[in-house]
A and B are shown apart, each in its own frame.
Chain A
Amino acid sequence: MTPDTFTRSQWYAIGRTGDFEGAKAKPVRLLSQDLTVNNTSGVLSVNDAEGHSLQTQVRYGHLWTTLSDNPRPLYDMPEFDEPDRRLVTAGGVGVRCSGLRCVENFLDMAHFPFVHTDILGVEDHSSVENYDVSMDAENDEIWATKCKFFQPLASAAATGGQMTEYKYRVPHPYSTILYKTCPIRQNVWDLVGLFIQPVEEDECIVHSFILVFDDENTDTGLLHFQQNIFLQDRMILENQVPRKLPLDPRWELPTRADASSIAYRRWLKANELQWGIALFDKVA
């Protein structure tokens, strides 16, 4: 299947800027297409297989490109300009499933006690309290707010269990950002996010970042925390069937705790996204 218009119109992160050092052209794959990244004296450019030059931009620590001539603008994260924040980019991790499934798993708090046991959740506190989900019509984004969850070790800077407050944002079909209570500063949010590079309909590379206030941990300590969490998710993601995201309601039955996932699926449908979606009649 060729990517639908909504999928094609997005910007995609294809690596950290530091991944393209050296003059040797580097192959990358995006939306079932082979692309090449060239580094000419520090200036990065991207070509498709026919040699056409694609638009690029460097933002949020990553190189972004698009297959579209008229892409939807890349969403804003003003927190990246705030002083004192620490940015750690965790590198690309390959996952054998649709990137849409990775977004949905990221939005799901119910898995914390069972997948991230004793870090992001404990089995004694497994209930998901009600939260609000709304559409930001101006920017065409999904926000889930007032999410609360008991976490024994919410981040590398946490020293004990806390009721963590979350906001989730989905500004892009293959990106999602978590805003969570900062354990060491009042009234600010720490950010954790995924920039997903869809390689095939059922295969992706997940580039993740954390943007936090933290005076204690080294960058490498933060990196290890983040990678450990994501590898726990990866195993779960690779065991989901089917590997593409099912949108047909006959396939999976959501519950109240899945309100953000329901909104995400509705939003994908409303934008007529088809690439990466499992068709009910074809597989079953």
Chain B
Amino acid sequence: MKLFDYVLSGNCYKIRLLLDFLEIAHEKQAVDFFPGLEHKSDAFLQINPLGQIPVLEDDGAYIRDAQAILVYLASRYDSSNTWWPVNDPAELGRVAQWLAFADSITSTASAARLHDVLGYDLDVEQARAGAHRLFRILDDHLANQELQGFDWIAGPNATIADIACFPYTALAGDGGIDLFYYPAIQRWIRRFVNLPHFKLMPGINIFS
């Protein structure tokens, strides 16, 4: 199994997290996302015509899209069926719902980070405002979950919905987005970094 990986990518980080959580042996191929824009090269477009990372190669097939790769890995390699809870349709529906939400976090909080860190030319104020709107929703949801005795986004167990939402939320500070006003998100981040086999990525402030 091979992950086409970029060290500063939150979307690649999602896959690295689940590979570590499930202790799946794999290799990584480093992609020069910045400054080389290798993901837009002809060779890489053969692997993913969308020109995006991550891509996972397993059993000779390529899978693209961070959320899709999470679904694939959890379905195939998590014998406990907790990360992608196929035996509980209601919970599974909630997980899928928050996977889509994670994509919205990418298009806002991640965009602000690309602007501030790597100099991408985009409307950073609009990206930050969009991220704050989403973080308010996530913060309210996590607070409600806590009131019901649940530590995680979809219920009592950490699922790939938590993995999908974690990186660009925890990395929001890189893009000038302060998580100070989201106490339930901060508590959730603290729980997340204490999961077994968790590895930190630069930009995540575990002391805040």
19 residue pairs from A and B, CB less than 8 Å apart? A19-B35, A90-B35, A91-B118, A93-B117, A94-B116, A94-B117, A96-B116, A218-B30, A220-B36, A223-B32, A224-B30, A227-B34, A228-B202, A231-B174, A231-B203, A232-B202, A234-B174, A234-B202, A239-B205
Interfacial chain B residues near A90, Cβ < 8 Å: 35
Interfacial chain A residues near B202, Cβ < 8 Å: 228-229, 231-232, 234-235
> Which residues of A are in contact with B by a Cβ distance under 8 Å?
16, 18-19, 89-94, 96, 205, 218-221, 223-224, 227-229, 231-232, 234-235, 238-239
Interfacial chain B residues near A91, Cβ < 8 Å: 34-35, 118
6 cross-chain pairs, A with B, having the tightest CB-CB distances, nearest first: A91-B35, A231-B202, A224-B7, A220-B30, A232-B202, A220-B32
What's the dominant secondary structure at chain A's contact region? helix
Count residues of chain B with CB under 8 A from any CB of chain A: 21
8 Å CB contact of A235 from B32, B36, B119, B205: B205
The answer for the CA separation of A235 and B117 in the assembled complex, in Å, is 11
Give, as a whole number of angstroms, the nearest-CB distance from B113 to chain A.
10
> Which residues of B are in contact with A by a Cβ distance under 8 Å?
6-8, 30-32, 34-36, 38, 116-119, 173-174, 176, 202-205
Give, as a whole number of angstroms, the nearest-CB distance from B128 to chain A.
14
What's the dominant secondary structure at chain B's contact region? loop
The answer to whether B35 and A221 have CB atoms under 8 Å apart is: no
The answer to whether A238 and B173 have CB atoms under 8 Å apart is: yes
Smallest Cβ-Cβ distance to A239: which chain B residue: B205
Give, as a whole number of angstroms, the nearest-CB distance from B203 to chain A.
6
The answer for the CA separation of A26 and B32 in the assembled complex, in Å, is 22
Smallest Cβ-Cβ distance to B176: which chain A residue: A96
The answer for the CA separation of A80 and B84 in the assembled complex, in Å, is 52
